[in-house]
Amino acid sequence: MRFPLLHWIIHNPKFRFLCGIIQMYLASALKHMHIGEQHLTDRLDAKSSMKKDAFESINNSSLRHSAGSDDCDLVSAAEIIRDQFYFATLRSKPKSTSHTHYFSIDDELIYENFYADFGPLNLAQLHRYCCKVNKKLKSISLAKKKIVHYTSFDARKRANAAFLVGAYQIIHLKRTPEEAYRPLVSGNSPPYLPYRDASFGPCSYNLTLLDCLHAVDRAITHRFYSFDSFDPDEYEHYERVENGDFNWILPEKFLAFSGPHPRSKIENEITKNQLMLVLQSISFMIFKSRYPLHAPEAYFPYFRKHGVSCIVRLNKKMYDARRFQDAGFDHHDLFFVDGSTPSDSILKRFLDICENTDGAIAVHCKAILTFVNVITYVTRILTKLHYFSLTAGLGRTGTLIGCYMMKHYRFTAAETIAWIRTARPGSIIGPQQHYLEDKQHSMWVQGDIYRAEVNQGRARGKNILMRRVTSEIDDISLRDRNNNDDKYKIAVTVYNVSRSGVGLSQGDRLRAAKARRHPRSAT
């Protein structure tokens, strides 16, 4: 027999009893997860029972007479662009008319969940939605029609659709998060289901729609996302496991990726979907799955092309760090347990590394789905520890990068979580969310101190440069005529170096030019 231990475990009566307990617990947990969603569904039922004309609240005659306004069972409607673009929640699919064009993305832009998470949609999906809306608004055939983005009664799809509509307003209509959010919640609009982390069990941290809109706004302000330069095809290519499984969290600064393996191969490992089937069907015989793994060398070409100079490993050692180091990359190990939060010393080391590294930093963690990890996972479920991540480059990676964002860009914890999940879905789970909330104030204070010290250092550097230029000029005389050109070169070098970092005035330029001239004799 190929797996005698596995065969013994499967046929062991105690193991079967344990599986029964697991199955009952999961059924209870899954039922509990949907309580909040069912509550919203009940509220939507109450709202839609009013049988109000779908767009009467918007006070637009062409929409009031659109086909299916009553048949579609309105839940809510909002005007995004006056007399042109609308967002509505309907119970059933409407039909476009000569005056109104309906479209939906509920079955087109779909969030690929890990566990109980359902959004927000990723950057590529947001970008494609913006392109879709822009195309419709510019379409000649739709020029005289009201364009209505409708979403279904499903609370999760409705939240994702609202996120896209709100983000579109921020990106293309230049509205503030509050201005974009206001029409989405006006009138009789029911509340939106808040987002949650990618874990089992009850949700302990609610991420609101407004949090996500603030995150998009801050990201645009700091140039983390640009509609004109973002490439959705590239994003979707590299986020796939077979192509590296990585995403830029902060362009040119932080790349989150799945941990490398000793060698590239197709490994037999357990996928998350199979794990769910295992826990529900109580059958460990379906554990095998072909899963692509990548050696460190597989990342070298992309890293070099995009300026990655440093790798930070947060998981246990699975490959020799010298393989990165011998290729010219810096490598640091900052291990802490999967699903947990970093110690203060690890956080400090991470921030120090990031603040003293030239080039981008690739950060990874990795939890391998082995038989031992599955047993550990089952144990944590039974002890109500739902935050054992079976994913790569998400929990620990996102948590540390999030601290950097709060320190250097003054993101709130909620904005940080929202942006990182938009850039790399599934990031930051369980207690890591509360950890960021707890660290928010201290990161802000440390960031203020850091920026003050940097500014003081620049001021000191400028004074040193000025004194050096002056001393070089004063040192020029007729006796060292042969060395004057060298003095000039020094002064010009100082000026050129300082111009890019500090910036000298026109007077500084004149003094540099003066250094080239020889003083005239007094006689």
Return the active site residues. 365
Residues 6+ apart with CB under 8 A from 332: 310, 311, 312, 313, 349, 353
What is the rounded distance in angstroms from the CA atom of residue 341 to the CA atom of residue 298?
Answer: 29
CA angle, 271 then 393 then 406, to 5°: 145
Amino acid at 152: S
User: What is the distance of C-alpha 38 from the center of its chain?
Assistant: 28
What is the rounded distance in angstroms from the CA atom of residue 296 to the CA atom of residue 264?
Answer: 8
What is the rounded distance in angstroms from the CA atom of residue 403 to the CA atom of residue 411?
Answer: 9
In terms of Cβ atoms closer than 10 Å to its own Cβ (0-12, 13-18, 19+), residue 240 is exposed
Residues 6+ apart with CB under 8 A from 334: 312, 313, 314, 342, 346, 349, 350, 400
What is the rounded distance in angstroms from the CA atom of residue 276 to the CA atom of residue 504?
Answer: 63
In terms of Cβ atoms closer than 10 Å to its own Cβ (0-12, 13-18, 19+), residue 316 is middle
Residue 85 in contact with residue 142, Cβ under 8 Å? Answer: no
Beta-ladder partners of 103: 149
Query: In angstroms, how far apart are the furthest CA atoms of the chain?
Result: 113
Question: Which pair of structure tokens corresponds to residue 213?
Answer: 């809109």
* Alpha helix positions (H), 282-330: 300-305, 322-325
What is the DSSP secondary-structure string of 116-159? S------HHHHHHHHHHHHHHHH-STTTTSEEEEEE-S-HHHHH
**φ and ψ at residue 333, rounded to 5 degrees:** -110, 125
CA angle, 214 then 219 then 223, to 5°: 155
DSSP symbol at 226: -
